[in-house]
Amino acid sequence: MTVTKPIRSEQVIQFGEGGFLRGFVDWMLQILNEQTSFDGSVVVVQPLPQGLCDTLQAQDCVYTHIMRGLQNGVPAVESKRVDVISRTIKPYDDYEAYLRLADNPTFRFVVSNTTEAGIVYEAGDKLTDAPHHTFPAKVTALLYRRYRNGMHGFVFLPCELIDKNGETLKACILRYAADWQLEQGFIDWVEKENTFCNTLVDRIVTGYPKDETFDLEYVDHMLNTSELFHLWVVEGPRYILEELPFDKTELNVLFTEDLEAYRTRKVRILNGAHTSMIPYAMLRGLETVKDCMEDEEMSAFVRGCVFEEIIPTLDLPREELFAYANDVFERFNNPYIKHFCASISLNSVSKFKVRVLPSLLEYIKRTGKMPARLIKSLYMLIAFYKKGTPTDSEDVVTFMKEKTIPEILSHTAFWDTDLSFLCDEVLKYAD
């Protein structure tokens, strides 16, 4: 395609070329370039042997991102051409080109999305590998070259969906440094000259629209789609905003000294709403999240769970919690996203323990009362495993099918606590 692309200084190294980073970080950096003095570009590193970098490079790393959803209940579609990526690097094809990224003094930030399993330590990686197997080992080698150059370090903004993603990445890097017997000076440089931020990302990116056509000015094999909603919470020093001035835009990027309250809000409200309603919904024959929102009984149930029994257990300002919850339900109603209940139902027992049970127990602790809807959701979870179509490990499914409700509630291996005291309340919903 023929597109005039601005030439900007390369400031961001990005591990990952998939739809999420292109529809989240790169889209944000595009807006940052348009609305502030940032004027930076991204070099994308393909972290695996196979990927999309050849396709991206073939169209000069330019693509269109389309966002669709509801705004105040009205369907809305927004589109933006993204030209923030300057080039791509494939370490498995040209490892030296990858290492040369460490020689460029304009690079300041490293972003990544290498899946939940990406930030991991494996003992087999060696400094002499070209390239290394794990993402943290690749980063360690890059950092070591930069250290040997006598240059400044990076600000790391990982987007992997794991708790304390920045701290975990740093721990892996230091472990490789120890394994490879790198000098203390390098270890000190990693500690003092680099900033590892924990982050929380929130946006459903639906990727290439395979069954749809859009009228664009060019053929776009990297066309990307997402919902309208976006949120990036960064646990890091606010001086980063002097270099990445998100505060000069309307982007929903928050800097905080403590990410945990926002992580808890997302897990309890968004994920908790899903998990509290899905077994119930599937027993009633509902197929998608939007079906749930259009079903009067199910919609009333899950809204009651969130606004009356989950939000009272959280410590952020009430107005902020209500605003987030209203955004969640508008997202659930998105007519452009078909989110199947069956896909959300995977491993529902373990999800309930993490996403719903803490709200249930905290409600009892704070009010001295029983949260009727959350307890009903616990009963529906058990009924789903007994009478529905659960997708879980064979031992979990077998246990849930064969054991009585009292035996299930007292099974601490599932809940990390004995829930026998809830037995009478749960049994109220039995047939």
Alpha helices in 60-217 (DSSP H): 95-99, 135-148, 165-179, 184-193
- The span from the CA of 380 to the CA of 375, in Å, is 9
Q: Who's near 30: CB < 8 A, 6+ residues apart? A: 80, 82, 83, 84
What integer best gives the mean pLDDT of the chain?
Answer: 95
At 1 the pLDDT is 47
Q: Using alpha carbons only, how large is the chain's radius of gyration in Å?
A: 24
Average pLDDT over residues 60-74: 94
At 3 the pLDDT is 58
The percent of residues in the chain predicted with pLDDT above 70, rounded, is: 99
Average pLDDT over residues 58-87: 95
Handedness of CA 97, 98, 99, 101 (dihedral sign): positive
State pLDDT tens for residues 260-298.
Answer: 999 999 999 999 999 999 999 999 999 999 999 999 999
Joined tokens for residue 253: 């990027």
Average pLDDT over residues 235-242: 96
- The span from the CA of 240 to the CA of 195, in Å, is 10
Over 60: is that where the pLDDT of 165 sits? yes
Going from N- to C-terminal start, the domains of the chain cover 9-256, 260-427
State pLDDT tens for residues 350-380.
Answer: 999 999 999 999 999 999 999 999 999 999 9
3-state SS class at 232: strand
At 65 the pLDDT is 96
Joined tokens for residue 240: 């980063």
CB 14 within 8 A of CB 21: yes
Alpha helices in 201-317 (DSSP H): 240-243, 260-265, 272-283, 289-294, 296-304
Question: What are the b/e assignments for 265-299, b being 16+ CB within 10 Å?
Answer: bbbbbbbbbbbbbbbbbbeeebebbbbbbebeebb
Name the pLDDT band for 2 (thresholds 50, 70, 90): low
- The span from the CA of 195 to the CA of 174, in Å, is 13
Backbone angles phi, psi at 346, to 5 degrees: -55, 130
Backbone angles phi, psi at 112, to 5 degrees: -155, 155
Architecture of domain 9-256: 3-Layer(aba) Sandwich (3.40)
For domain 260-427, give the CATH superfamily: N-(1-d-carboxylethyl)-l-norvaline Dehydrogenase; domain 2 (1.10.1040.10)
